[in-house]
Amino acid sequence: MDKLIITAAVIGSRPKREHNPHVPYSPEEIADEILRSYDGGAAIAHVHVRDPETGVPSTNLDYFRAVRDHVRSRCDILLNFTTSGLNVDADDYLEQRVSPTILGPELCSLDISSMNLGGRVFLNPPEWGPYCVKIARERGVKPELECFDSGHIRLAQGLIDKGLLDAPYLFQLCMGTHGGVGGTMKDFVFMTELLPQEETVWTAMGVGPYQFPITIMAILSGGHVRVGFEDNLYVSKGVLAKSNAELVDKAARLARDFGRDIAGPADARRILRLKN
């Protein structure tokens, strides 16, 4: 079994300081959360950015660049930049979404399909997947295939079958969202059994109270995990986390309790066969 890759999703587009006062907004705050998560055992950081004054989700490349430069000057954690369209409203919609990949992250998220998510329509039109993987391949960035339901895995398989993705194929199972697959053990087994059996690396995340049950199941099943404020603000029932590092520390501790070693950035690059 490979060492466990822990991804820290430190901010996302939904949590606000009114939900947890420790949620970071500015590029410097986001970068510092990534650095603390790295110290706790994270090998990958999943990056969204915000307007530093208002906390409103942003696609400003200067914010992404500031996070990148601050983090890379201090550690070698892998950067996974979001290409989410949840907060993009532009005529060049697809180009705007993929624009963070020009900054040279090792990875980028790729939301496979449209769905209802948290009271909104999460739009990912059919042309989005092929466009994103084409641009990502040209820029030497590996897409992380975010799957919120079983049909999303089938759509991702279609991209693989067309030769649009390079092995190993990186899947992220997003579980427990309102509008997607649930976060129970039955849901977990169902989703993992649908994944391609060869040349696949997969990781799983659970929203809210599902975060650590999903983490435990992934640890025991040979997968990898994602934790952080994007998905969950509590380190235990009723106890707000003071940082993303607390959540990373808990995931690492659980892995060690079950006898699984933690992957560093060099291990993650080897497992994912990254060239950059």
Q: Architecture of domain 6-270 in CATH?
A: Alpha-Beta Barrel (3.20)
Q: Please, are residues 247 and 228 in contact by the beta-carbon 8 Å criterion?
A: yes
Burial code (b: 16+ CB inside 10 Å, e: under 16) for 75-103 equals: eebbbbbbbbbbebeeeeebebbbbbbeb
271 burial level (CB within 10 Å; 0-12, 13-18, 19+):
middle
Under the phi-then-psi rule, with left for phi > 0, alpha for psi from -120 to 50, and beta for the rest, what region is 174? beta
Contacts of 204 (CB under 8 A, 6+ apart): 172, 173, 175, 188, 191, 192, 214, 215, 217, 218, 223, 224, 225, 226
Per-residue pLDDT of the chain (276 residues), as tens digits, is 999 999 999 999 999 999 999 999 999 999 999 999 999 999 999 999 999 999 999 999 999 999 999 999 999 999 999 999 877 777 788 999 999 999 999 999 999 999 998 788 999 999 999 999 999 999 999 999 999 999 999 999 999 999 999 999 999 999 999 999 999 999 999 999 999 999 999 999 999 999 999 999 999 999 999 999 999 999 999 999 999 999 999 999 999 999 999 999 999 999 999 986
Question: For the chain, how many helices (H) and strands (E)?
Answer: 9, 14
* Residue 251: predicted pLDDT: 98
C-beta atoms surrounding 162 within 10 Å: 10
For the chain, the domains span 6-270
* Residue 168: predicted pLDDT: 98
* Residue 276: predicted pLDDT: 61
